[in-house]
Chain A
Amino acid sequence: MTRVVFLIPTPLRPYAAGRSRIEIDVAKDPPALGDALEALWEAAPGVRDRVVTEQGEVRQHVNVFVGTESCRWSGGLATPIADGAEIAIFPAISGGVC
């Protein structure tokens, strides 16, 4: 069992019962980011639909960091997750509308 902490950005907290942090135990050992996210979707399915498309891909203007590294550069959903890892979801700066 691997324990991870998800940091939920303010716009997504209505879909996470108002929580800014969600601690989750991931059954798969050792887990990848995709396994940890699946565990998060179980706890907060509304967050899933905002972070990934219905095809399971992280949305273009959303960044998911494992520690301080964006998963785009660390192996995507296959990024390995260590016990106690902090996984942060951020709206990308590319997504604003003027």
Chain B
Amino acid sequence: MKTVRLLVGTTKGVFFLRAPAARAAWQVEGPHLPGRAIYSLAHDGRGGRQRVWAGAASMHWGAVLVPTDDWGRTWDEPQEANVKFPADTGLALKQIWQIAPGLDEEPDTLFCGVDPAALFRSTDAGKSWEVVRGLLDHPHRERWQPGGGGMCLHTIVRDPANADRMWIAISSGGVYRTSDGGRTWTARNAGIRAEFMPEKYPEFGQCVHKVVQHPSRPGRLFAQNHWGLYRSDDAGDSWQDIAHGVPSDFGFAMTIHPHEPDTVYIIPIQSDMVRVAPDGKLRVYRTRNGGRSWEALTRGLPQRRAYDIVLRDAMTTDSLEPAGVYFGTRNGKLYASNDSGSSWRLAVDGLPSITCVRAVVADDRKPARRTKARPSARR
């Protein structure tokens, strides 16, 4: 029997939601890692694992990666911090913004993106982590600038057909691509506007908020920018404006349909100075044609006095058909759609501010029926 689990990161811990494949009603449990800000979550189902990774940050005690192999019943809290900058860098970890398991053929490889902007790689299933020097030592680094969330590397996109190629995005640095497994990186921002700079189309320095790619179309990318929606058909070499018919092209969240490479979802925000839902209406916008046009999805979403916004990793899809689409708001509401976004339900309200959402479809077998406990023969 298929079960959908939602991994929900909040500013005060992790919550797990669970529903049968119909995805009509959700059971909620948590918080796990209570009190800590969870800006990144990932499920690693490779190699027979059922592991969830959480990037957990305490304002007092710093940030670590914490895994669980049993959906939160136990967490393997590292005694020593597992993601650390080498002493010679002079840098100190502030936040873990993204966790990306590697490709299926590299089951022990993971990446994480952090603030201050850097990429870390593990090749031993998360036991140890090493900073990717090729990006850390990039000559552009000294001119990257922090955004409101810090200077974060928040997006990691792997090419499923080429383990050496990947894209990362930094706020504010823009999109960078490697084609040699991380040894060298080139800025790939041509056509992306930097509204906050005197030069509107610099080589780098853009504040790209999220980049997504469909696994069936490697190198075709969509980006939600700090002002601007873009598509690249040439692996990031050039970007075209696709903000046709949205109430605002400012926003953070972006996700792609699991089965339709032309279907992308965004949630616009009024502006960078007024970060609320445009016109007091909470609307998801969906394109089904690669960004030539967008439609508002409103059924089941509040259309009066709604000021919720959604952060960059707080919208996701599951892998079922029709696809489930989910997003969590800064005000602690989790909305779920079981029909590819055409209609929505409030799955849970009252959570702490939601920072990230991930979905996992699992084949959950029924647990064996428990036999009645027998009194022990020994006294």
Residues of A within 8 A of B (CB): 11-12, 14-15, 45-46, 48-51, 53-55, 57, 59, 61-62, 91-92, 95-97
Are B87 and A55 in contact, with the CB atoms below 8 A? yes
Give the interface SS of chain B, mostly helix, strand, loop or mixed.
loop
The CA of A15 and the CA of B290, in the complex, are separated in Å by 50
CB distance from B275 to the nearest CB of A (A): 18
The CA of A49 and the CA of B279, in the complex, are separated in Å by 46
Assess A57 versus B11: contact at CB under 8 Å? Given A49-B62, A62-B60: no
Q: Which residues of A contact B12 (CB under 8 A)?
A: 97
CB distance from B371 to the nearest CB of A (A): 35
Q: Which residues of A contact B81 (CB under 8 A)?
A: 49-50, 54
Which of B23-31, B88-96, B105-113 is found at the contact surface with chain A?
Answer: B88-96
What 18 new A-B contacts, CB under 8 Å, besides A12-B61, A62-B61? Answer: A15-B79, A46-B78, A46-B79, A46-B80, A48-B80, A49-B80, A50-B61, A54-B85, A54-B86, A54-B87, A55-B90, A55-B91, A61-B59, A92-B60, A95-B58, A95-B60, A97-B11, A97-B35
Residues of B33-86 whose CB lies within 8 A of A: 35, 37, 58-62, 64, 77-81, 84-86
How many B residues, CB 8 Å from partner?
23
User: With contacts defined as CB atoms under 8 Å apart, how many contacts are there between chain A and chain B in the complex?
Assistant: 59
Assess A59 versus B93: contact at CB under 8 Å? Given A46-B79, A49-B80, A97-B37: no
The CA of A51 and the CA of B92, in the complex, are separated in Å by 13
Q: Taking CB as reference atom, which chain A residue is nearest B79?
A: A46
Are B92 and A61 in contact, with the CB atoms below 8 A? no
The CA of A78 and the CA of B84, in the complex, are separated in Å by 25
Q: Which residues of A contact B93 (CB under 8 A)?
A: 53-54
Q: Which residues of A contact B58 (CB under 8 A)?
A: 11, 50, 95
Are A95 and B87 in contact, with the CB atoms below 8 A? no
Are B80 and A55 in contact, with the CB atoms below 8 A? no
The CA of A55 and the CA of B87, in the complex, are separated in Å by 6
Q: Which residues of A contact B84 (CB under 8 A)?
A: 49, 54
The CA of A16 and the CA of B277, in the complex, are separated in Å by 47
Among candidates B37, B60, B78, B92, residue contacting A54 with C-beta atoms closer than 8 Å: B92
Q: Taking CB as reference atom, which chain B residue is nearest A59?
A: B62
27 interchain pairs, CB-CB under 8 A: A11-B60, A12-B61, A45-B79, A45-B80, A46-B78, A46-B79, A49-B80, A49-B84, A50-B58, A50-B60, A50-B81, A53-B62, A54-B81, A54-B84, A54-B86, A54-B87, A54-B91, A54-B92, A54-B93, A55-B85, A55-B91, A59-B60, A91-B60, A91-B61, A95-B59, A95-B60, A97-B12
The CA of A2 and the CA of B176, in the complex, are separated in Å by 53
Are A97 and B59 in contact, with the CB atoms below 8 A? yes
What are the 9 tightest A-B residue pairs by CB atom distance, in nearest-first order? A53-B92, A49-B81, A50-B61, A46-B79, A54-B84, A95-B59, A91-B60, A95-B60, A61-B60
CB distance from B291 to the nearest CB of A (A): 37
Q: Which residues of A contact B79 (CB under 8 A)?
A: 15, 45-46
Are B92 and A55 in contact, with the CB atoms below 8 A? yes
Q: Which residues of B contact A15 (CB under 8 A)?
A: 79
CB distance from A45 to the nearest CB of B (A): 5
Which of A50, A92, A96 counts the most B-chain CB atoms under 10 A from its CB? A50
Q: Which residues of B contact A48 (CB under 8 A)?
A: 80
Q: Which residues of B contact A96 (CB under 8 A)?
A: 59
